[in-house]
């Protein structure tokens, strides 16, 4: 890991730890020990396994969508790619660092950069559509649980719809006017290549045109000949988000609390939307404060801090450990290449 990346990792972890310590200091009391005596480790293990299942669904989505474009990606290769993506996502605002990692790993699996970019961008578009759809479902069906969270829930829905609208506008612009995307890409390239030789700049421009053409062609396949991959990718996306919301319920049961399945579904949607906003590296601090504020409405204050700590251990620190392991596998793989 590069020095700058280590700095962001330390910053993200440090911010998260400080917030968790403050939350624990504010919530732990004499009743907390009584709750801890009722901990069921089995459900905490199940929460970790459910989180791993969620990552497997994500890996299967990448494999399926790449396969629909004609590229064969092994499942375990795809899973290791997702694990490596988790580390980069944990140290970048809006978890945006994961996208370049997935594009790079797809490229290493002999998927052209344009096609790899199309797969990753379509993942984001599907995530946005799924979150907006699930939020609308929650508003229409889970009205009592939604109203119990107050005004913040309505704000999050508006943010989600704006996010989805932005994704769709960019998507249709890339489909209808690739020439506009090429001009923007060339202008961005000029900013970084002012000291390059003319021949090098022309070569880069040609590469940009080629990859944007590949991207446009790949997205066209998704909307025409590879619609099956898009549909399967969307089903995987729904499973991914639903599976992710179950982790919190399993942790609650492990702590002797009711599962709050419907309430957790709504809360996890709100937190997922918050995590997409570029506020802090990996959403550290934002996730902890948001989860504490929302879950404190439904569970005793003396246990909410412990819950948030375990929840972040599973969904954040476990991710970092998996990402470091995947990074070591990638480094070893590249070192053995001729």
Determine the Cα–Cα distance for residues 201 and 4; give it in Å rounded to an integer. 27
pLDDT grade for 61, boundaries at 50, 70 and 90: very high
| Per-residue pLDDT tens digits for 224-246 | 767 788 889 999 999 998 888 89
Q: What contacts 116, CB < 8 A, 6 or more positions away?
A: 102, 103, 106, 107
Which stretch, 152-156, 170-174, 225-229, has highest mean pLDDT?
A: 225-229
Residue among 263, 262, 252, 267 at smallest CA distance from 303: 252
SS3 content of the chain, % helix, strand, coil (to 5): 80, 0, 20
Determine the Cα–Cα distance for residues 123 and 128; give it in Å rounded to an integer. 9
Determine the Cα–Cα distance for residues 121 and 119; give it in Å rounded to an integer. 6
- Is residue 155 included in any domain, yes or no? yes
Determine the Cα–Cα distance for residues 77 and 255; give it in Å rounded to an integer. 35
pLDDT grade for 160, boundaries at 50, 70 and 90: low
**Residue 93, helix vs strand vs coil:** strand
- Is residue 231 included in any domain, yes or no? yes
Determine the Cα–Cα distance for residues 270 and 148; give it in Å rounded to an integer. 13
* Phi, psi (deg, nearest 5) at residue 95: 55, 30
| Per-residue pLDDT tens digits for 4-45 | 667 777 888 888 888 888 988 888 887 888 778 878 899 999
Both tokens of 34, joined, read 């009584």
Q: What is the pLDDT of residue 56?
A: 96
Domain count, the chain: 1
Q: Which DSSP category does 281 fall into?
A: B
Q: What is the pLDDT of residue 253?
A: 92
> Does 153 have pLDDT greater than 80?
no
Quote the domain boundaries for residue 303: 41-171+206-335
- Is residue 92 included in any domain, yes or no? yes
- Is residue 142 included in any domain, yes or no? yes
Q: What is the pLDDT of residue 27?
A: 86
| Per-residue pLDDT tens digits for 48-60 | 999 999 999 999 9
| End-to-end alpha carbon distance in the chain | 22
* Phi, psi (deg, nearest 5) at residue 281: -60, 120
Q: What is the pLDDT of residue 171?
A: 66
Determine the Cα–Cα distance for residues 274 and 229; give it in Å rounded to an integer. 28
Yes or no: say if 160 and 136 are a contact pair by the CB < 8 Å rule: no
| Per-residue pLDDT tens digits for 282-327 | 777 888 888 898 898 888 888 999 999 999 999 999 999 999 999 8
Yes or no: say if 272 and 135 are a contact pair by the CB < 8 Å rule: no
Alpha helices in the chain (DSSP H): 3-27, 30-36, 41-68, 75-90, 98-108, 113-141, 143-147, 151-176, 178-192, 198-223, 227-254, 261-275, 286-295, 301-312, 318-335
- Is residue 199 included in any domain, yes or no? no
- Is residue 290 included in any domain, yes or no? yes
Average the pLDDT over 243-269 and give the result.
Answer: 87
- Is residue 318 included in any domain, yes or no? yes
pLDDT grade for 168, boundaries at 50, 70 and 90: low
Q: What is the mean pLDDT of the chain?
A: 82
Determine the Cα–Cα distance for residues 190 and 195; give it in Å rounded to an integer. 9
- Is residue 186 included in any domain, yes or no? no
Q: What is the largest CA-CA distance in the chain?
A: 72
Yes or no: say if 128 and 163 are a contact pair by the CB < 8 Å rule: yes
Which stretch, 4-18, 84-98, 130-144, 291-305, has highest mean pLDDT?
A: 291-305
pLDDT grade for 105, boundaries at 50, 70 and 90: very high
Which has the higher per-residue pLDDT, 325 or 276?
Answer: 325
Yes or no: say if 169 and 289 are a contact pair by the CB < 8 Å rule: no
pLDDT grade for 158, boundaries at 50, 70 and 90: low
Average the pLDDT over 68-74 and give the result.
Answer: 89
Least confident of 6-10, 91-95, 97-101, 268-272: 91-95
Both tokens of 212, joined, read 């944007």
């Amino acid at each position: 890991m590069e020095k700058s990346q280590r700095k962001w990792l330390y910053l993200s972890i440090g911010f998260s730890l400080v917030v968790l310590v403050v939350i624990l200091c504010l919530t732990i009391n004499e009743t907390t020990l009584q709750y801890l005596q009722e901990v069921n480790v089995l459900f905490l293990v199940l929460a970790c396994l459910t989180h791993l299942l969620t990552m497997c669904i994500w890996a299967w989505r990448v494999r399926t969508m790449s396969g629909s474009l004609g590229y064969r990606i092994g499942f375990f290769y795809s899973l290791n790619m997702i694990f490596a993506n988790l580390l980069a996502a944990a140290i970048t605002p809006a978890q945006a660092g994961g996208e370049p990692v997935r594009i790079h790993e797809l490229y290493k699996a002999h998927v052209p950069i344009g096609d790899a970019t199309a797969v990753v961008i379509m993942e984001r578009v599907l995530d946005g559509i799924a979150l907006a759809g699930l939020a609308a479902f929650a508003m229409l069906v889970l009205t009592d649980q939604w109203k119990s969270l107050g005004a913040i829930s309505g704000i999050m829905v508006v943010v989600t719809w704006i996010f989805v609208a932005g994704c769709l506008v960019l998507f249709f612009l890339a489909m209808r006017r690739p020439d506009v995307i090429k001009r923007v890409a060339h202008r961005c390239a000029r900013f970084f290549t002012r000291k390059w030789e003319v021949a090098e700049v022309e070569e880069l421009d040609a590469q940009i045109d080629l990859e944007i053409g590949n991207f446009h062609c790949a997205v066209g396949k998704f909307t025409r000949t590879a619609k099956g991959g898009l549909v399967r990718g969307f089903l995987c996306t729904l499973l991914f988000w639903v599976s992710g919301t179950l982790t919190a319920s399993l942790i609650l049961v492990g702590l002797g609390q009711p599962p709050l399945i419907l309430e957790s579904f709504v809360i996890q949607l709100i937190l997922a939307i918050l995590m997409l906003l570029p506020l802090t590296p990996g959403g550290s601090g934002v996730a902890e404060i948001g989860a504490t504020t929302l879950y404190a409405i439904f569970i005793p204050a003396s246990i909410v801090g412990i819950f948030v700590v375990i929840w972040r251990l599973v969904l954040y620190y476990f991710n970092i450990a998996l990402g470091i392991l995947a990074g070591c596998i990638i480094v070893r793989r590249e070192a053995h290449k001729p």
